[in-house]
Structures are given as structure tokens and as C-alpha cells.
């Protein structure tokens, strides 16, 4: 059975894992650990635990448990002192406290949810994402980095410097394919590569390296990026090239694009004329748009559920490349 590592964080990784788990693959979700927003951020501050949010999403994506159990893990309290918290986040934090280790907590949760595959934190250290601008300003925390204008970005790093989880390095070494899932560029994708040893392990690996490009760009950070620009920029952090790049070549409905434009996010253009020579057989285009629009009762989650990757289409393209 082919071993596939999926790197990233958030809903992009969830989508890719959801599609891939339908195939006979041994999946490992490698999760960035810089999240400090919402329920996760409160639990980090009040309990001193590692961030459970993105790990929870990966566990749910790979779970073979009942639909009720998966819904329970994603349930968000709406009232009282627990308002805003996900049950799954509380569950993982309680497991960390009771086992004395976040690593063991993830193992126990994996057993309870009967997941197909593995969920592995990129690091087991408590870290903060820091962006330094050329103006000298420092932006502390993943949430703040997500909201910031990074057009004058000089450097982005983790504080303190983080060592890779040995399980993460082993998974990368043994992988037949390493997938970089879509997600917010500087706060979800790049934090994995800031962990000491991760980039080096990926570049040394003989696995096929596949990058799945974002559908939308973000003004002030990746606003003028084409598909090629995304690849070029991530290579600066990774230190080596990809074997394949999967990108969307279809346009969503106008009303959806207008909705995202209000948040200063725009459709990633396929390619600029001057860059056409850079495209080769390694760039695989397809209609990656999910036709299903998932509405949510939570206003802060509505927008990011409108334009998403289609898990089945993305998975089919990936599996073809593994043959």
C-alpha cells in the first residue's frame, strides 16, 4: 500500500484527506502547530495545551466512526461559558492533560475515532508564528499574521525555533508521495516548513512531491500571485522543486467572487503571458471547484465554505499521478 503524507492545516487539508481516504492508501496528515485563533487560542492561553483545532479536523476527516461521532467532534457550543468552543478541541485538550502528552492524546483520539491513517503534529513544542516587516514591525501569532498586510514581509519564523516531531520525519522518509494541501499561505502552509528538519526531510525524500494550489488569493499577502508565483514562493521556503502542481482552471459564479472580493480575496489566475514558458507537463489543471455549497450557522465560517476544492476531483488527479 502506497504511503501518502498530506501537509498543511485547516479546511484545505480536510478536503484533500476526505477525498484520498476512499482509495487504498496509507495516509498521514502532518499538521502545522501554530494555530492560536478562536477556541484553539483560548485553550492554549488558559490551559497551556498545544493547539487542537487543525488536528481535530484531520481526525474527523480520517475517521471511520459514525456520522454522529464526527458531528460531535465538530460541535460548537453556542451559549454559556463554553460559547465558541468545539467539543473536539475540548476533548483533545482533556486527553492531553490526562495523558500528559499531546502526542499520546492524538494517539488515543485516533483509536476512539477509528481513523484510517495517522495524524501527526509537525512539532510537539509550543510555538508562536512571527512575521517581521521591513519597517521593523513584528506581527505575533497566526491569527494576527492571517489578518496582516505582508507586502513588506522581511522574514517569517516560529518562536522559539521548533524541532520536528520524530514521527513526522519518519513519515516523510517512508512516504511514496508528499502532498502540500491548499490553505492560507503564510499561516497554514508555510508554518510546517518553518519547523527545523521538515524541509530538509521533504527535499531528501524520494517521494513524489505534489503541490495543490489555492483557489483564492489574498490581497496584501498573495493578491497578485498566479499559480506559478505560489509555486515559486513556496520553493523559497522548501528549498527544492515539486514533481507536480495541481491547479484549478475553472471560474466560480460571479456572486461568489463578489462575496470574496469584500474580504479582499480573489480567484488565483492560471498564468501570466510572460510566464507561459514556465508551464510544463508537471502542471496539471482541472475543474477543482466543489459544486456543493455548505452553509453554516456561524457567520465567521460562512465565507470560507463557499469556494472550496472538490475532494473527489482532487483525489482522482493525485491518485493518477501515483501510478
pTM for this predicted structure: 0.91
Domain ranges of the chain: 2-33+164-322, 35-121
Q: Which three cell numbers stand for residue 39?
A: 477556541
The Cα 258–Cα 113 span in angstroms is 39
Compute the CA torsion angle 207, 209, 210, 216 (nearest 10 deg). 140
DSSP-derived secondary structure for 233-258: HHHHHHSS--SEEEEE-----HHHHH
Give average pLDDT by consecutive 10-residue segment, the chain, 323 residues. 90 91 96 88 89 92 86 88 91 95 94 94 95 96 94 95 96 98 93 96 97 93 92 96 94 86 85 54 89 53 67 95 90
Q: How far apart are CA 156 and CA 159, in angstroms?
A: 10
Strand order of the sheet with strand 153-159? 138-140, 128-133, 153-159
Is the separation of the CB atoms in 119 and 58 below 8 Å?
yes
Specify the CATH number of the domain 2-33+164-322: 3.40.50.10680
Amino acid at each position: 500500500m502506497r504511503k501518502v503524507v498530506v501537509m498543511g492545516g485547516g479546511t484545505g487539508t480536510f478536503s484533500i484527506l476526505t477525498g484520498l481516504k476512499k482509495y487504498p492508501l496509507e495516509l498521514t496528515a502532518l499538521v502545522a502547530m501554530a494555530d492560536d485563533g478562536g477556541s484553539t487560542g483560548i485553550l492554549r492561553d488558559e490551559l497551556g495545551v498545544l493547539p487542537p483545532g487543525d488536528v481535530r479536523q484531520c481526525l474527523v476527516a480520517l475517521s471511520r466512526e459514525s456520522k454522529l461521532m464526527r458531528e460531535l467532534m465538530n460541535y460548537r457550543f453556542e451559549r454559556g461559558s463554553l460559547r465558541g468552543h468545539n467539543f473536539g478541541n475540548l476533548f483533545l485538550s482533556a486527553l492531553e492533560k490526562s495523558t500528559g502528552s499531546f502526542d499520546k492524546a492524538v494517539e488515543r483520539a485516533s483509536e476512539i475515532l477509528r481513523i484510517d491513517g495517522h495524524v501527526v503534529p509537525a512539532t510537539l513544542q509550543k510555538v508562536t508564528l512571527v512575521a517581521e516587516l521591513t519597517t521593523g514591525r513584528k506581527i505575533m501569532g497566526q491569527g494576527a499574521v492571517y489578518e496582516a498586510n505582508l507586502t513588506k514581509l522581511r522574514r517569517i519564523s516560529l518562536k522559539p525555533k521548533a524541532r520536528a516531531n520524530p514521527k513526522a520525519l519518519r513519515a516523510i522518509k517512508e512516504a511514496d508521495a508528499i502532498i502540500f494541501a491548499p490553505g492560507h499561505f503564510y499561516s497554514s502552509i508555510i508554518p510546517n516548513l518553518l519547523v527545523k528538519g521538515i524541509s530538509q526531510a521533504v527535499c531528501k525524500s524520494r517521494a513524489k512531491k505534489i503541490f495543490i494550489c489555492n483557489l483564492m488569493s489574498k490581497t496584501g499577502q498573495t493578491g497578485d500571485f498566479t499559480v506559478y508565483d505560489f509555486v515559486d514562493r513556496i520553493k523559497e521556503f522548501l528549498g527544492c522543486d515539486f514533481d507536480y502542481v495541481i491547479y484549478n482552471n475553472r471560474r466560480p459564479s460571479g456572486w461568489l467572487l463578489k462575496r470574496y472580493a469584500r474580504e479582499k480575496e480573489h480567484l488565483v489566475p492560471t498564468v501570466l503571458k510572460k510566464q507561459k514558458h514556465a508551464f510544463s507537463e508537471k502542471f496539471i489543471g482541472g475543474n477543482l471547484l466543489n459544486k456543493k455549497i455548505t452553509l453554516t450557522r456561524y457567520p465567521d465560517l460562512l465565507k470560507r465554505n463557499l469556494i472550496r476544492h472538490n475532494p473527489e476531483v482532487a483525489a482522482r488527479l493525485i491518485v493518477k499521478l501515483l501510478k
